Structure 1
Amino acid sequence: MTPKTNYGQYLAKFPLRFFLIVPFVMQVFLAVGLVGYLSFRNGQKAVNRLVEHLSNEVSDRVDQHLDSYLGLPPQIGALGVDALQTGLIDIHNFRQAERFFWKQAHIYPNINFIGYYLNTGAGGGAGRWLPGQGVTVVQHSLVDGKDYAYATDAQGNRTKLLDATKYDARQDQWYQDGVKARKPVWSKIYTAEGFTGYVAATVAYPIYDKKRQLIGVFSTDLLLSEISNFLRQLQISPQGRVFIIERDGMLVGNSSVRETYNIVNGKTQRLSALNSPDPQIRMTAEHLKEKFGSFQAITSEKQLEFFWDDQRQFVQVLPWRDRYGLDWVVIVTIPESDFMGEINANTRTTILLCFAALMTTTLLGMLTSRWITSPIEHLSNASQAIAGGDLNQKVEVKSIRELNSLSQAFNGMAQQLRDWVDLLEKRVSERTVQLAEATKEAETAKSSAIAANRAKSEFLANMSHELRTPLNAILGFAQVMNRDRELKPEQQENLGIITRSGEHLLSLINDVLDMSKIEAGRIALNQNDFDLYAVLETIEEMLILRANLKGLSLIIDRAEDLPRYIKTDEKKLRQVLLNLLGNAIKFTQKGHIWLRVQTQYIASVDSPEKTYLKFIVEDTGPGIAPQDLESLFEPFVQTEIGRQSEQGTGLGLAISRKFVQLMGGDLKVSSQLGQGASFEFQIPLELSDLAHIPRHQKTRRVVGLVPDQPRYRILVVDDRWENRQVIVKLLRPIGFEVQEAANGQEALALWSSWEPHLIWMDMRMPVMNGFEATQQIKSHLQGHATIIIALTASALIEEIPSIRAVGCDDFVRKPFLEHEIFDKIGQFLGVKYIYETLVISEPEATPIEQLTKSALTVMPPKWWLYLSDAASELDRDKITQLIVEIPVEHLALRKDLQRKVDNFDFDLIMNMAQQIENL
C-alpha cells in the first residue's frame, strides 16, 4: 500500500516569509495576466455586441423602408382597380382615366407609370418614362396598334404629341403574369431599352367585370434606384455594406458608390452580387453561396462570421417577402477591423500598466513580509515555552496594532490557563448534576411538543387563507402580464420567475395545509375512475425535463398485465408518485430513476385471492443513513442530505405515507448509504366500470370572442382591489363588459341597476360578505337568471356545502389559473372563444385531396354557400370567421382552407364549395 504524502509536514519546512511573498506575488501575477486577457476579450465582446446591435438596427430600418416603399404600388393598383370596377372611372373613357392617373403620378414621384390595358389591346395611363418631359400621358390606338405619348400642362391637359411607338401590352410579361395569377402580383425586375439606368418592377393587378370575367390588367411601375439611394444614407461603418439581392443573386440595391448595373453599348445590364465591383459585397456573396449552396436556401434570419484577408467579417442575412410575390434577401456585412484598431491600442496600454503594477506590488510584498515576520517569531518562541509547561510567559509587541492586540491576548491566555486547571474538576461535577435535571425536563417537554405541533398545524391551516389571498393577486397579475405580446424576453423571464416562485410557495402552503388536515383527521379519500396509463404519461412529461437537465435517465416500466382504467383517488396517487420521483431526481446526481408499476396477486388461507397495484421507485442516489430511516416519515423532519440541500419542508414523505394509508396500503423504504434508495407501496386494485375515460387535453389561451354573440356583462366582487383587477384585466381585453364592487352591499346595488349575466363573488368581505349578498340576490325571481360563482381562498372542503347552500352555482379556489375563469364562463353562459394558435406541435393535416366525403360534408350546405359568397367577394376576414366554426376534430379541412386563403386562392375555394354543394 502506497504511504499517504504528508504535505503539511513538507510545507512546515518553509518560513512564514515564503508564504507571505510567493502566494502574494502569484496572485498579483495571475490578476495582472487575467486583467490583460479580459481587457482584450471584453474588447472583442464589445465589438461583437456593437456589430450585432448595428446590424439589427440597419436590418430593421431596411425592412421598414422596403415595407413602406414597396407597399405603395399595390395600394395604388388597388385604388385604381377599385375606381374602374366601381364605375368611378369609365373603363372605356381613356381621356377621363388618364387625367385620374396624371394626378396620381404627380402625387407619387417614384411611380414611373400608372395605367391599364384591356384584353382588346386598348389602354393608357400616365407617368415619367420620357426623360425631361415630366408627367406624360399615353393612349393606345387600336387602329394602328401604337401607343401615343403626349406632353401635359399644369392641369393635365394634352399639349403636344411626343412619341408614337408600336406596342402590344398583351405580349409583355407583366400582363401575362397578371392574367395567369388572377391576383395582384409583382413582375420580374426589368430594364428598358433606350433608357439608361432604368431598373424597375411592375405590380400587375387583374381587372374583372361584374360577372367575374377578366377584362384587363392594371399596371403600376416602380423605379428601384431609390432603394440604393436609401441604403447609401445609412450610417454603418467605414467599410460596412448593406445590399439586397433576389434569390438568383441579382442585385436589387446596395450602399456602395458603385451601381447595381453596368452600361454596355448604351444598354443597361444588371449585375449579380457575385460579380459586383465592390469587393466587400462580392466576397460576402461568395461566402453565403458557399455556406448555403444557393441563395434560395436562406430561409430565416442568420448571424454569420467569416474571414477575409485575415480579418473577421460579421454578416447578417434577413429574408424579406411580401404578399405579392417579392422574395429578396437583405444582407449587412461589417468588417471587424472598423472597430478593433482603437481597442487593440487600449489593450496594449492596459498590459503595460498592469506589468508596472506587478513589479511595484512585488517589491512592497517583500518589505511587508519582513516587517510582519519579525514580531511573529517572538510569539512563536513564547508559545513553544508554554507548550513545554512554562506558563509564566509575557510578550510585548508594539510595531503593529493587530500584533500588539495578539500579544496582549496571548498574555491573558497564559493567566487564564492557570485558573481553568483549578476549576475544571469542579465544573465537571456541576455539569453532571445539570445533565440529569435536563433529562427529566426533556421527557416533560416531549409530551408538550406533541400538543404544540397540533396547535401549530391548526394555526397554519387558518393562516393558509391569508397567504393564498395575496398569492392570488401575484399569480393572477403574472398571467395577465404574460398575455402582453410586447413583452421583452427579459421581462418574460422575470414573469416566469415570479410565477414559478409563487407556485412553489403555493405548493409549500398546500403541503402544510395537507399535514394540518391529516393531523386533525379531516382528510378523506375521494375515489374516481381514471386512465392509469394517462396519469403515468403525464408524470413522465412533467419530470423528464428535470431528469434530463441533470443527465439522469427516468424510466417508467409498466407490467404487461397492468390494467388501464382503475378506480381510486387519482389526485392523491399522482401526488405520492410526484413526491417520490421528485425527491429521487433532486438527490440523485448520476445514474437512473425507475418507476415500476406491477399487478400483484396475494392469497391466504383465510381469504380469497386479492389483486393489488404495486409501485416501486428506485434511484442510484446517495442513499439514506441508517439513523435517518427511523424518522424519515415524521413531519418537518429531514435527512442529513435533505438538510444540506436546503430545500423542502420535510412534509412530502409524511404526506405521501398518510395518502397511501388512506388508499389501503403502506409506504416502505429500503436503502444502503451510497447505493441509492427504494420506496415501495401497494394499494388494492379496483377496476373501473367505464370502458373508456377521455384524456385531458392541453388548454389553449383565449384571445377573443367569436363574432355575433351577445354583449355579456360580468360583475367582479372582492374587497381587495388587486384581486378584482386580475379578473377585470383578463376579461375586458377579450370583449366582456366588466364592472366591479368592493363588498356585498355594492354588489347588490350594481346587480339591481346593471343586471349582470354572471357574478364572481368573493365570500369573505367587510360590510356585507358574499354569503349574505348571494342569498339576497337569489331570493329574488330575476336573481335565479344570474349565475354566481364563488371565489374562495379556503382550501377546506367543509366550506363547499355552505357555499352551495346560499345559492352559488359553482366555486373556484384562489389562486386560480386564467383558463379556469374562461372555462366557467363558457360552461354557464355558452360563450364561444377565439383561441391563440397552440405553440405545441400538431400532427400534419391531411391534404384536402385525401379527405373523405364525410369529412368534407361535416359542415351544412348553407355554410358552404356562405363560404362561396365570401370567396367571390375576396373577403378574407369573413372566410376566416367561417373557418373558425369548423370543429377541431376536422383539423385537416380547417388548415387546408386557411392555407388557400393565405395564398389568395379564392377561385379554388369557390370551386371546392360549389362541388361540395352538389354532393
Structure 2
Amino acid sequence: MEKKRGSIRDIIGILFIVIIICTFSIIGYVVFSSWKVSVNNIIAEMENDANQDILNKMEKFLSVPLYINEANHNLIENQIVRLYTKKDREIYFAEVLKANNEGEVYSFSFGTEDGDYYGARRNEKNQIEIMENNVGTNGNTRYYSISKDLTVGELVEETGRFDCRTRDWYKVAKEKQKPVFSPIYKHFVMDDLAVSAAYPIYKNGILQGVLGTHIILSNINNYLKDVVKDKQATAFIVEKNSGELVANSLGMANFENLADNQIKRKTIQDINNRPIIEAYQNYRQKSETNFIVNTNSDKLHIKLTDYQKEGLDWLIITAIPESPLTVGINQKIIISIVLSMIALIIAILIYIKSTEKVLKPIYNLIDATEKFAKGDFSQRAMIFRNDEIGKLSSAFNNMAEELYLLINNLEEKVRERTRELEKINNELKVSKLKAENANRAKSDFLANMSHDMKTPLTIVSAFSQELKEGKIGNLNDVQKATIENILFGTNQLTTIVENLLDLSKLSAEARSSLILNEVDVSSLAVEVANSMSLISRCKQVRLITTVADTDLIVAETRMIKRVMQNLLHNAIKFSKNGDEVHFTISSTHDPVDGVVIEVIDHGIGIPKDMQELIFNRFFQLENMLQNEQSGTGLGLAVVKKIVEAHCGTITVISENEKGTKFVVFLPTFPKLDEELV
C-alpha cells in the first residue's frame, strides 16, 4: 500500500510541476507576444496617422494653387477679365492674391505667347505688389505697390530682362496641353525652392498663354515638423525617381546655393541616415513600403507612401523609433520570472502537505474496487469525508449494490425486456400500416375529386370567356366587372384543382411519368406573365417581367408552366396594393448549364424558422395571413415536387415584413431516373 501511495504522489507531483511550468511559460509567452503585437500595432497606427496627416496637409497645401487656376482660367479664356485693360488687369490679379489670406501662394501670374507677363506677388513683408512685363517695360519686370482701389501705386523695384516663356512652368504646361505642376525650381527672388501650378489658356484651339500660381516649399518643412514632433519621429518628402529632397522635419536645408545663382539639390544620400537610405533603396528595387530596420540601440519602423499629382511624383517617408514604447520592459520580464519561480516553490510545498490527506481515501477506494473485481461482491468502500472523493466512494457503493442485484436477477430481466420490445415493435408496424393506408386513401380521394371538378370548371371558364369577349352579346360595365370576377375566381379554383392533380401524380410511386420535350422557357415565361396580368390587375400589383433568351431545356412544358404560375400567384397574393413583383428568366452555366427563374415580391415575408416548412403539403402561415389571403397550402409543395422531379433546386430568401425571393434552377439536361422518363 505504501508503495502505491508513493508512486501516485510522484506522478501527480511531476504532472503538477510540469503543468505549473507550462502554464507560466504559456502565459509569459502570450503576454510577451501580446505586448509585442501591441507595440507593433501602436507603431503601425502612428505610422498611418503620421502619413495620413502629411497627406492631408500636402493635399490641402497643393490644392490651393490648383483651385485658384481652376477658378480663374475660364475668366481669362472667355475674356470675362480684360487683361489688356490696365486697370481691370491690376485689380483682378491683386484681388485673387488678396483672397488667399493664408499665404500659401507667393504669386499669381499670366504669361502670354507674345512674351507679356502680368500678375501679383507678396513681398518679404507679405504685402501685395503688382507685376508687369511687356513692350512698355522694355522686357524688364516692374513691381508696384497697390493703392486702396487695388490699382498700381509707386514703383517698388525693376529687375532685369525676363521672358516667362523660358520658365519651366510655362514650357511644361505648353508641352502637356493641360493643367500640370512644374518641376521644382529655385525661386529667382526668394532663397527657397518653389513649384508652380500651370494652366494653359486656349482660344479657338490656339494657345494664348499660361496661367501660373506659384508656391514656395518651405511651408512643407513646417508641416512635417508639426506632424512628427509628438511621435519622436522623422519625416522626409523626396522625388521618387531622383531621391532629391523636397522637404524634411529635421530643419536641414533641401539645397545648396552655388555660384552664378545656381543651386545643388540635396538627395536622400546626403542626409546621413542609413536606415532611411536602405528603406528608399529597397523601395526602388522591390516596391516594398514597410520596413523594420535595426540600429545599434533601437529599431526603426519606416513607412513609405506615394504622393502623385499631374507633374508631381513624390515619396513620403516616416521613421518611428521603437524604444519609447519598450523602456523598462526587460526589467519587468525579469521580475515576472522571479515571481513565477517563487510561486512555483510555494505551490510544491502546498502540494506535499495536501496530497497525503487527499490520497488516503482514494487508496481505500482502489483497494475496495480490486477486491470487488476479484469476485467479492460484498466489498464496499469506506467514506472518510463528505467531499468529492466521499461522493465517489458513495457512488461506487451504490454501483456495487446495483451490480450485485443485477447479476443475481439478470436472466429474468433480459426475458422481460425482450417481451416488451417485441410488443412495441408489433404496435409500431400496425400504426405505420394504418398511416400509409390513410395517406394513400386521402391522395386517391383528392385526385379523383380534383379530376371530377376540372371538367365543369373548364366549361364555366370557357363560357365566361365568351361572355367577356362579347360573342354572345354586348355587356355593360357592371356585367363586364361581374364576368371578370367570375373568371378570376374560376382561375383560382382551377389552379387549386390542378395543384391537387399534379401533387397526386408526383406523389404516386411507380405510376408517374414525365412527358419530356424541348421547352423554350423564355417564351413560356412571357405566356405565363400575360396570363397572370388579370390577377395582378385585380390586386393592383405591378408585374415587372425580365426575360432573357435562354437555351432550350428538356422538361415537361405543363409542369414548368405550373412552377411559374404558382410562384407568381403566391407573390401577387402576398403583395400589398401598389407593390411590385419582379419575374426574371436568365441562363446560367454554374455549376451546369441551365435556366434560372426568379420571383421577388415585397410582401409580408417568411420568418426564418418557417422557411423549411412552407414546402410541406397544406402548410400555411396562419398567424400572418388575412382571410382574403388564405389558400390550400399546396402551391409551393407542388413547385418543389416538380423542380425535384426535373433534378433542379429551389431556394427561398426572405425576411419578415421585407419580402421574399424564390430562385429556381432547372438543368438543361436533367439526369432523370428511368422510372420517371
TM-score, with length taken from structure 1: 0.48
Instruction: Give the secondary structure class of the aligned counterpart of 2:364.
Output: helix
Change (3 A) 1:453 1:366: farther
Kindly state the Cα deviation for residue 328 of structure 1 after the two structures are TM-superposed.
1.5
Residue 333 of structure 2 is matched in structure 1 by 347
Residue 914 of structure 1 is matched in structure 2 by none
Residue 265 of structure 2 is matched in structure 1 by 270
Kindly state the Cα deviation for residue 148 of structure 1 after the two structures are TM-superposed.
0.8
Kindly state the Cα deviation for residue 124 of structure 1 after the two structures are TM-superposed.
0.9
Kindly state the Cα deviation for residue 268 of structure 1 after the two structures are TM-superposed.
5.4
Residue 75 of structure 1 is matched in structure 2 by 67
Residue 205 of structure 1 is matched in structure 2 by 199
Residue 27 of structure 1 is matched in structure 2 by 19
Kindly state the Cα deviation for residue 126 of structure 1 after the two structures are TM-superposed.
0.2
Give CA-to-partner distance per residue, 1:398-447, whole Å, 9 cap, x none. 34622223333344444444433432232233234334434433433553
Is 1:138 the equivalent of 2:131?
yes
The residue correspondences of 1:314-713 to structure 2 (distance < 5 A) are: 314-322=301-309, 324-399=310-385, 401-447=387-433, 519=507, 524=514, 528=518, 568=554, 696=588
Distance across 1 between alignment mates of 2:265 and 2:172: 22
Kept in 2: contact 1:40–1:344 (CA 8 A):
no
Is 1:100 the equivalent of 2:96?
no
Instruction: Give the secondary structure class of the aligned counterpart of 1:15.
Output: helix
Kindly state the Cα deviation for residue 310 of structure 1 after the two structures are TM-superposed.
6.3
The one-letter code of the counterpart of 1:199 is: L
Residue 648 of structure 1 is matched in structure 2 by none
Distance across 2 between alignment mates of 1:452 and 1:34: 66
Kept in 2: contact 1:238–1:338 (CA 8 A):
no
Residue 147 of structure 1 is matched in structure 2 by 141
The one-letter code of the counterpart of 1:270 is: R
Distance across 1 between alignment mates of 2:355 and 2:6: 14
Distance across 1 between alignment mates of 2:410 and 2:383: 31
Is 1:216 the equivalent of 2:209?
yes
Change (3 A) 1:177 1:360: same
The one-letter code of the counterpart of 2:164 is: A
Kept in 2: contact 1:312–1:336 (CA 8 A):
yes
Q: Which moved more, 1:417-426 or 1:24-33?
A: 417-426
Kindly state the Cα deviation for residue 216 of structure 1 after the two structures are TM-superposed.
0.9
Kept in 2: contact 1:77–1:203 (CA 8 A):
yes
Instruction: Give the secondary structure class of the aligned counterpart of 1:124.
Output: strand
Kindly state the Cα deviation for residue 149 of structure 1 after the two structures are TM-superposed.
1.0
Change (3 A) 1:796 1:343: farther
Kept in 1: contact 2:5–2:363 (CA 8 A):
no
Kept in 2: contact 1:73–1:111 (CA 8 A):
yes
Residue 548 of structure 2 is matched in structure 1 by none
Distance across 2 between alignment mates of 1:363 and 1:138: 93
Is 1:229 the equivalent of 2:222?
yes
Kept in 1: contact 2:279–2:302 (CA 8 A):
no
Change (3 A) 1:527 1:185: farther
Kept in 1: contact 2:184–2:193 (CA 8 A):
yes
Distance across 1 between alignment mates of 2:371 and 2:654: 74
Give CA-to-partner distance per residue, 1:45-86, whole Å, 9 cap, x none. 111111122222222222222222211112211222211122
Distance across 2 between alignment mates of 1:406 and 1:179: 96
Distance across 2 between alignment mates of 1:520 and 1:340: 77
Give CA-to-partner distance per residue, 1:9-43, whole Å, 9 cap, x none. xx999822123211121111101111222222111
Kindly state the Cα deviation for residue 815 of structure 1 after the two structures are TM-superposed.
3.5
Task: For structure 2, list consecutive stretches of 5 or more residues without a partner in the other structure.
Answer: 444-501, 521-550, 558-585, 591-599, 609-623, 643-649, 662-677
Distance across 2 between alignment mates of 1:192 and 1:456: 99
Residue 277 of structure 2 is matched in structure 1 by 285
Distance across 1 between alignment mates of 2:211 and 2:84: 13
Task: For structure 1, list consecutive stretches of 5 or more residues without a partner in the other structure.
Answer: 1-10, 458-513, 531-564, 572-693, 699-714, 724-763, 772-791, 801-811, 822-919
Is 1:256 the equivalent of 2:256?
no
Instruction: Give the secondary structure class of the aligned counterpart of 1:19.
Output: helix
Change (3 A) 1:523 1:48: farther
Instruction: Give the secondary structure class of the aligned counterpart of 2:307.
Output: strand
Kept in 2: contact 1:718–1:765 (CA 8 A):
no
Kindly state the Cα deviation for residue 374 of structure 1 after the two structures are TM-superposed.
1.7
Distance across 2 between alignment mates of 1:135 and 1:94: 17
Kept in 2: contact 1:382–1:393 (CA 8 A):
yes
Change (3 A) 1:814 1:410: closer
Change (3 A) 1:449 1:345: farther
Kept in 1: contact 2:90–2:152 (CA 8 A):
no
Change (3 A) 1:69 1:450: farther
Instruction: Give the secondary structure class of the aligned counterpart of 1:815.
Output: strand
Residue 34 of structure 2 is matched in structure 1 by 42
Residue 195 of structure 1 is matched in structure 2 by 190
Distance across 2 between alignment mates of 1:102 and 1:523: 92
Kept in 2: contact 1:55–1:332 (CA 8 A):
yes
TM-score, with length taken from structure 2: 0.64
The one-letter code of the counterpart of 2:98 is: H
Distance across 1 between alignment mates of 2:48 and 2:38: 15
Instruction: Give the secondary structure class of the aligned counterpart of 2:327.
Output: helix
Distance across 2 between alignment mates of 1:275 and 1:816: 66
Distance across 1 between alignment mates of 2:337 and 2:442: 63
Distance across 2 between alignment mates of 1:207 and 1:344: 65
Kindly state the Cα deviation for residue 359 of structure 1 after the two structures are TM-superposed.
2.2
Instruction: Give the secondary structure class of the aligned counterpart of 2:251.
Output: coil
Distance across 2 between alignment mates of 1:304 and 1:155: 57
Distance across 2 between alignment mates of 1:350 and 1:90: 80
Kindly state the Cα deviation for residue 221 of structure 1 after the two structures are TM-superposed.
0.3
The residue correspondences of 1:763-778 to structure 2 (distance < 5 A) are: 766=626
Residue 618 of structure 2 is matched in structure 1 by none
Kept in 2: contact 1:321–1:328 (CA 8 A):
yes
Distance across 2 between alignment mates of 1:356 and 1:388: 47
Residue 307 of structure 1 is matched in structure 2 by 294
Give CA-to-partner distance per residue, 1:138-165, whole Å, 9 cap, x none. 1013142111111224543433222222
The one-letter code of the counterpart of 2:208 is: I
Over the matched positions of the two proteins, sequence identity in percent amounts to 23
Residue 243 of structure 1 is matched in structure 2 by 236
Kindly state the Cα deviation for residue 218 of structure 1 after the two structures are TM-superposed.
0.9
Residue 169 of structure 1 is matched in structure 2 by 164
Distance across 2 between alignment mates of 1:180 and 1:167: 20
Instruction: Give the secondary structure class of the aligned counterpart of 1:390.
Output: coil
Distance across 2 between alignment mates of 1:411 and 1:520: 60
Distance across 2 between alignment mates of 1:317 and 1:202: 25
Larger Rg: 2
Kindly state the Cα deviation for residue 242 of structure 1 after the two structures are TM-superposed.
2.5
The one-letter code of the counterpart of 1:162 is: V
Q: From 109, 115, 126, give the equivalent of 2:120.
A: 126
Is 1:815 the equivalent of 2:659?
no
Distance across 1 between alignment mates of 2:121 and 2:210: 17
Kept in 1: contact 2:193–2:218 (CA 8 A):
yes
Kindly state the Cα deviation for residue 720 of structure 1 after the two structures are TM-superposed.
5.4
Kindly state the Cα deviation for residue 99 of structure 1 after the two structures are TM-superposed.
1.8
Distance across 1 between alignment mates of 2:379 and 2:637: 71
Residue 51 of structure 1 is matched in structure 2 by 43
